[in-house]
Amino acid sequence: MGAPEIAKYHDAAMISPIITSFHHVMPPPWSHIETAQTGGFPLAALAWIPKHQRPKFKDICPTTEASLLVWDKLINKHRPAPYISPALRIQAMALLIPGFNWGLWHTRGATSLSSVMKGESIETFESLKQKFHLPPRSYFSYLQLSSWVTKRARQNNKHSHDNTIAELERVCLAPKPPQRSLSFLYNILKKRAGVGKLRFMTAWEAEMKTIIPNETWPRVLRAHKHLTLNTAHIETCRKVLYR
């Protein structure tokens, strides 16, 4: 991997437990410590709930809180507007729709919105009834889910997001976790290095009234490093560059 970008490597390490929680067939022993403080909901159920709609848990485990904090920062960075993800767990609907019987769906294989949606809308009840062998009494919860999805799908069409969100969704929805998940997530975040430039970079672009390509900045920094052997001059140049 070489020398990683520490900030992105840190973010990848922090969200790694969230990604792996989507693929636990049998939850590991320590997950009971996490879920005991989050109303019994695992990280996978909490992750794609928009931050402003996620319950504020009083005694949440510090590591869980830290992972969600970094996760929310990344999601908001790449998708500023409220977003309903197909990776949102059916279990999470219990926190979003009062009285929703998520267990009726989850035990029959409907684990996420992607499994009940076709495009931007939910499938018909007859289709889902055959697909998941749902009993007739599930029709009410279907109407709840359909109303909720239809109302919020319009928001998705109004705003766009970059490929980082789509890649994270694919990882969450994949049947198996990625090999070397930390490196895998780091590479996803590293691809989007151009998103969110450092303050001194945007300051220079604003002053020069131009956009400096992402691939140019490494050359600028290398040239600056070998500009002179005079330490005092290097420090002066660095202060000017990083102003």
State residue 162's pLDDT score.
57
Query: pLDDT tens across 133-188, in order?
Result: 999 999 999 999 999 888 876 665 554 555 777 888 888 888 887 888 788 888 88
Q: Is residue 22 part of a domain?
A: yes
Q: Which of 63, 26, 173, 166 is nearest to 112 (CA)?
A: 173
Rounded CA gap, 97 and 99, in Å? 6
State residue 1's pLDDT score.
45
Query: pLDDT tens across 77-98, in order?
Result: 777 566 788 899 999 999 999 9
Q: What angle do CA 76, 160, 123 make, to 5 degrees?
A: 105
- Give residues with Cβ within 8 angstroms of 7, minimum separation 6: none
Does 103 share its domain with 204?
no
Does 221 share its domain with 163?
no
Instruction: Say whether pTM exceeds 0.75.
Output: no
Does 219 share its domain with 105?
no
Does 181 share its domain with 216?
no
Side-chain-side CA neighbours of 178 within 13 Å: the count stands at: 20
- 115-150: burial string, b at 16+ Cβ within 10 Å, e else: bbbeeeebbebeebbeebebeeebeebbebbbebbe
Domain that holds residue 233: 199-241
Rounded CA gap, 37 and 136, in Å? 35
State residue 189's pLDDT score.
85
Does 128 share its domain with 222?
no
Please state the domain count of the chain.
2
Residue type, 97: I
Q: How confident is the model at residue 130 (pLDDT cuts 50, 70, 90)?
A: very high
